[in-house]
Amino acid sequence: MPNINLTHQVIAREAAKLFEEAAPFTMGINKGRQEEFGKESGGFKNGDSVRIKIPSVNQVFDGSTYAGGGAGDSNQETSINLVLDGRKHMALQFSAKEKLLDIAEYKERILKPQMQTLAAAVEADLLTRAYQTVYNLVGTPGTIPSTMKTYAQARAKLQNFLTPDGDRRTLFTSDSNTELVDASRALFNPVSEIEKQYMKGVVGEAQNAKFFEHQSMPIHTNGNKVVGVTVGAASQTGSNLSVGGVASGDTFKKGTVFTIAGLFAVHPLTGVPYSSLQQFTITADVTSGGVTAVLPISPAITPAAPNKTVSGSPAAAAALVFVGAANASLRQNLMFQKDAFTAAFAPLPVLASLEGYTARLPSGVSIRVMDFADGKADNEFTRIDILYGFAAPRAMFASRITE
């Protein structure tokens, strides 16, 4: 006889749990924002959003005189939007006979492979969005890291930007895992037995981060212009950089990393320059229309407090040095702390006249299972939906490790 516990509620909860097991990136980032969507009544749709506020970092003054005799810093709190713009679903078809499976068989034969596929698609999407926001980068383009030193350099990037110690993860490819020499692999510390058992791809812990082997690490492809680009004018600030040394039709791709000669990274609180140049990432694709172009960049060029990001303004004609060759395709591994990124999974409602259930797990994952039938063919159609949004409020808490 059929298993009477094979209900929409059971299926939805099992689906969400299976999704969690196959999604080490999603499970390693902040997902607290879904509560803000949950405060609304009714359903959710693509385009719904919440605003995330980011506190300002003001300067510190010496002595007892208020603001050193000046007016003091205005509160320049910034914000970004988290938009529900990710929507994916699995479409399943069952005969009446297949619906007689018990939950164990249903989970293993049908639900598990479907949720692994869905998780892979969502992870690939989120990882692509994530790496494009991250301007810190280590490694040699075109070379798979073979020692733990490269990952130590990524950790140093996080330390320089005062990243909290806990909740750090490194996601890397199987090739990168293989290339680590035996001596480096021995440096991995064991992770908890629970994580070994339930989280896919867990390798161990090193450099204050848990390492996960991941098959969906994104590939970044540069544009055709990476040589001869210079700053177009002196004293530029903000999130747009005017550059010269280009020709009509030259391309710059979102996620491309570069440095500017003479522009150094700074301590996030004191503003004291480090010895390394500040890295920037291009935040949108650009095609030049002539001999100049404007590149949208992150972080913004802010040479003075509050929220200081660089040691000064770029000089006119200062050279831009890009990571990787023209049109090069480079795999991007990632080390990050939980709060570098945030995602929200909205609880989709079951549509009127249809049967289904929306599972909301404590982790923040929400998945809807919903059925509709074809009585003539004696078939039932099931869709498993997930609606989500993503933002990077603390991209400085992450570093790419390029291959």
Give the pLDDT confidence of 148-200 residue by residue, as tens digits: 999 999 999 999 999 999 899 999 999 998 888 665 666 777 776 556 555 66
Q: How far apart are the first and last CA of the chain?
A: 54
pLDDT category at 105 given cuts 50, 70, 90 is confident
Quick one: pLDDT at residue 47?
A: 63
Region 326-351: mean pLDDT is: 93
Which CATH fold would you assign to the domain 223-327?
Elongation Factor Tu (Ef-tu); domain 3 (2.40.30)
Q: Where are the alpha helices (DSSP H) in 278-338?
A: none
Helix (H), strand (E), coil (C) string for 243-295:
EECCCCCCEECCCCEEEEEEEEEECCCCCCEEEEEEEEEECCCEECCCCEEEE
Alpha-carbon distances of 196 from 174, 192, 306, rounded to whole Å: 17, 6, 44
Distance CA 386, CA 303 (A): 42
What DSSP string describes 130-149? HHHH---EES-TT----STH
Mean pLDDT of the chain: 86
Distance CA 264, CA 312 (A): 8
Among 35-39, 139-143, 248-252, 325-329, name the one with the lowest average pLDDT.
35-39
pLDDT > 90? residue 281: yes
Quick one: pLDDT at residue 1?
A: 38
Between strands 219-221 and 137-138, the pairing is: unpaired
Between strands 238-244 and 257-266, the pairing is: unpaired
Residues 309, 128, 392: CA angle, nearest 5 degrees: 40
CB atoms within 10 A of CB 2: 9
Quick one: pLDDT at residue 255?
A: 98
Distance CA 105, CA 361 (A): 23
Distance CA 157, CA 386 (A): 34
- AA letter at 1: M
The H helix count followed by the E strand count for the chain is 8, 21
pLDDT > 90? residue 349: no
Distance CA 280, CA 167 (A): 25
Q: What does the block give as tokens for 390?
A: 């993503």
Q: Does residue 94 sit in helix, strand or coil? A: strand
Closest CA to 346 of 98, 116, 43: 43
Quick one: pLDDT at residue 42?
A: 47
Chain-centroid distance of CA 72 in Å reads 35
CB atoms within 10 A of CB 48: 17
pLDDT > 70? residue 56: no
What DSSP string describes 199-243? STTEEEEETTEEEEE-TT--EEE--S--SS-EESSTT--EEEEEE
- N residues, the chain: 403
Q: What does the block give as tokens for 33?
A: 């924002």
pLDDT category at 363 given cuts 50, 70, 90 is confident
Distance CA 338, CA 21 (A): 17
pLDDT category at 72 given cuts 50, 70, 90 is low
Top pLDDT among 26 and 72 is at: 26
CB atoms within 10 A of CB 99: 15
Widest CA span of the chain, in angstroms? 84
Quick one: pLDDT at residue 59?
A: 61
